[in-house]
Structure 1
Amino acid sequence: MPGTRPQIRRVRTDLLAIYLNDHLAGSTVGAGRSLFMARSHRDPPYAQPLRHLAGEIAEDRTSLLRIMRSLGVPKRRYKVAASAAAERLGRLKSNGRLFRRSPLTLVIELEFLRLGVKGKELGWRTLRTLAEADGRLDGQELDGLITRAERQLGTLEELRVRAVRDVLLSG
């Protein structure tokens, strides 16, 4: 309508704080699990890519913390502590073996990590959408984080398919 101002939409910081802390909890699990995987798998086709992914996932967690600080979103320590504890407990899961790792563990861990990276990518995409309404969010930085998450997904899928073939095919 002529003479009316467009409605200015603002980011709901109360809900965004919950959202970002949930993603921080997830990134805590992902960083811990990826580091554990990088240390556990020494097979040549897996070792180097897993080490590289673990480093990037840790960097992504640092990026999330920086973004949270720039938005004035406090870190909820109880969520971080609970997620770190859950990740460590997840290492104790039953895998059909009493004293050693099951060959299937690699497939399951890669699938788990891939799900986490997909969630991270969606989180970056959400922030990228909000960057249009909040100048504290750097759209170019978020575009780079989205691109990196997409690359990580590709690497994890390649590793997952290799692990499926190595573990579940005989002969």
Structure 2
Amino acid sequence: MANTDAVRKHADEIESNELRLSTEKSEQIVEALNTDLAATYVLYHQLKKHHWNVEGAEFRDLHLFLGDAAGRAEDAADELAERAQALGGAPVAGPTALADRAPVSMEGEDVYDIRTSLGNDLAIYGDIIESLRDHVDLATNLGDHATAQILREILVEVEEDAHHIEHYLEDDTLVER
């Protein structure tokens, strides 16, 4: 168990920052970033699960895509966490805190067919897309244009991965059923 005497900053504490954004504005943005961070980690873990368990005729392509998509989610999570820290906050961490904060849920431990798995991934992507759009607007309205830009860049990648999943879920295929 951790020694609480050594705590340097409590998880819900917002410190002043050198980015010249008020503590009140930073608090709102860090809250939004931590929500996106938690959702992104849920997505990351679900993508890795599907990467490990995918089978079938399109195994190789899906295995590679899911591994790459998980890598992009991990990179996005890192960007979100670092920005929260730069704004004087503490990035949400730990499995319990991430699960509590995430506005999305992982599908669970069972293994599903790839169409169901990708459909579940697409649902999480959709929720994250909506959240990122809302948080771009929030950051912009609070005058934090750098955070808005970071979120826009993440949004582009998230939308691109979601669009790829849409293609995988189409009915047209060369694989005989």
Aligned residue for 1:45? 61
4+ long deviations beyond 6 Å: none
For 1:158, the equivalent position in structure 2 comes to 167
- Contact 1:60-1:145 within 8 A present in 2 as well: yes
User: 2 CA distance for matches of 1:121 and 1:71?
Assistant: 22
Per the alignment, do residues 144 and 128 of structure 1 end up closer, same or farther by CA in structure 2, a change over 3 Å counting? same
Check the 8 A contact 1:11/1:134 in 2, yes or no: no
Matched residue, 1:118: 126
Contact 1:121–1:150 (8 Å) recurs in 2:
yes
Aligned partner (choices 60, 71, 75) of residue 59 of structure 1: 75
Q: Does 2:85 match 1:69?
A: yes
What count of residue pairs does the alignment treat as equivalent?
147
* Aligned alpha-carbon RMSD (Å): 3.3
Relative distance call for 1:83 and 1:31 in structure 2 (3 A) is: farther
Structure 1 length-normalised TM = 0.67
Unaligned runs of 5+ in 1: 1-9, 93-100
Kindly provide the CA deviation profile for residues 111-170 of structure 1, in whole angstroms up to 9, marking residues without a partner as x.
Answer: 1211222222223222322234333634433332221122111111112225x979xxx9
Which residue identity lines up with residue 97 of structure 2 in the other structure?
A: K
Rg comparison, structure with higher value: 1
Residue pair 1:25, 1:80 contacting (<8 A) in 2 also: yes
- Please name the residue that 2:16 is paired with: none
> What SS is found at the alignment partner of 2:169?
helix
With over 3 angstroms needed to count, the CA separation of the structure-2 counterparts of 1:158 and 1:28, relative to structure 1, is: same
Cα distance in 2 between the residues matched to 1:147 and 1:83: 23
Q: Which runs of 5+ in 2 are unaligned?
A: 1-22
More divergent stretch after superposition (139-148 vs 153-162) = 139-148
SS at match of 1:137: helix
Any conservation in 2 of the 1:67–1:137 contact (CA below 8 Å)?
A: no
Identical aligned residues as a percent: 14
Is the aligned partner of 1:91 residue 2:109? yes
Closer, same or farther in 2 for the Cα pair 1:23/1:114, shift >3 Å?
A: same
C-alpha change, 1:83 and 1:111, in structure 2 (3 Å) is farther
- 2:98 pairs, out of 80, 102, 109, with 80
